[in-house]
Amino acid sequence: MAECEVCGNDYELSFEVHAAGAVHTFDSIECAAQRMAPICDNCQCRILGHGLQADGAFFCCAHCARLQGKAQLVDHG
Protein backbone atom coordinates (compact mmCIF):
# COMPACT_ATOMS: atom_id res chain seq x y z
CA MET A 1 0.00 0.00 0.00
CA ALA A 2 1.07 3.56 -0.61
CA GLU A 3 -0.17 6.91 0.65
CA CYS A 4 -1.85 9.39 -1.70
CA GLU A 5 0.10 12.66 -1.80
CA VAL A 6 -3.11 14.71 -2.02
CA CYS A 7 -5.49 13.22 0.56
CA GLY A 8 -3.15 11.02 2.58
CA ASN A 9 -5.24 7.86 2.12
CA ASP A 10 -3.14 4.70 2.50
CA TYR A 11 -4.76 2.59 -0.21
CA GLU A 12 -3.94 -0.85 -1.58
CA LEU A 13 -4.86 0.20 -5.13
CA SER A 14 -2.85 3.42 -5.21
CA PHE A 15 -0.90 4.12 -8.39
CA GLU A 16 2.12 6.10 -9.52
CA VAL A 17 2.30 8.77 -12.18
CA HIS A 18 5.73 9.50 -13.65
CA ALA A 19 5.87 13.00 -15.15
CA ALA A 20 8.56 15.62 -15.74
CA GLY A 21 11.16 13.54 -13.90
CA ALA A 22 9.06 13.16 -10.74
CA VAL A 23 7.04 10.27 -9.35
CA HIS A 24 3.63 11.00 -7.80
CA THR A 25 1.42 8.59 -5.84
CA PHE A 26 -2.38 8.86 -5.86
CA ASP A 27 -5.33 6.82 -4.66
CA SER A 28 -7.72 8.12 -7.36
CA ILE A 29 -7.89 9.91 -10.68
CA GLU A 30 -9.64 12.72 -8.82
CA CYS A 31 -6.61 13.32 -6.57
CA ALA A 32 -4.26 13.05 -9.56
CA ALA A 33 -6.25 15.74 -11.39
CA GLN A 34 -6.22 18.01 -8.34
CA ARG A 35 -2.42 17.83 -8.19
CA MET A 36 -1.44 17.70 -11.84
CA ALA A 37 -4.07 19.22 -14.13
CA PRO A 38 -3.52 22.84 -15.15
CA ILE A 39 -6.12 25.46 -14.18
CA CYS A 40 -7.85 27.72 -16.72
CA ASP A 41 -6.55 31.28 -16.34
CA ASN A 42 -10.04 32.60 -17.02
CA CYS A 43 -12.62 30.44 -15.21
CA GLN A 44 -10.28 28.51 -12.88
CA CYS A 45 -11.66 25.06 -13.80
CA ARG A 46 -9.29 22.09 -14.00
CA ILE A 47 -8.29 21.38 -17.59
CA LEU A 48 -8.73 17.64 -18.05
CA GLY A 49 -8.70 17.62 -21.85
CA HIS A 50 -6.29 19.15 -24.32
CA GLY A 51 -7.05 22.77 -23.45
CA LEU A 52 -5.34 25.71 -25.12
CA GLN A 53 -2.20 27.72 -24.38
CA ALA A 54 -1.06 31.20 -25.34
CA ASP A 55 1.81 33.29 -23.99
CA GLY A 56 2.22 30.99 -20.98
CA ALA A 57 -1.49 31.05 -20.07
CA PHE A 58 -3.73 27.96 -20.01
CA PHE A 59 -7.38 27.95 -21.08
CA CYS A 60 -10.05 25.23 -21.02
CA CYS A 61 -11.66 26.49 -24.26
CA ALA A 62 -11.47 29.18 -26.92
CA HIS A 63 -14.29 31.13 -25.26
CA CYS A 64 -12.19 31.61 -22.11
CA ALA A 65 -9.14 32.46 -24.22
CA ARG A 66 -11.10 35.16 -26.09
CA LEU A 67 -12.29 36.65 -22.80
CA GLN A 68 -8.61 37.08 -21.90
CA GLY A 69 -7.73 38.72 -25.24
CA LYS A 70 -6.42 35.64 -27.07
CA ALA A 71 -8.69 35.88 -30.13
CA GLN A 72 -6.33 33.77 -32.25
CA LEU A 73 -7.14 30.59 -30.30
CA VAL A 74 -9.92 28.32 -31.57
CA ASP A 75 -11.44 25.06 -30.34
CA HIS A 76 -10.88 21.96 -32.43
CA GLY A 77 -14.09 20.76 -34.05
Q: Do residues 45 and 25 make contact, with C-beta atoms less than 8 angstroms apart? A: no
Look up the pTM and report it: 0.80
pLDDT digits (tens, 9 = 90+) for 27-77: 999 999 999 999 999 999 999 998 999 999 999 999 999 999 998 887 766
pLDDT of residue 72: 87
> How far, CA to CA in Å, does 19 sit from each of 13, 27, 37, 38?
19, 17, 12, 14
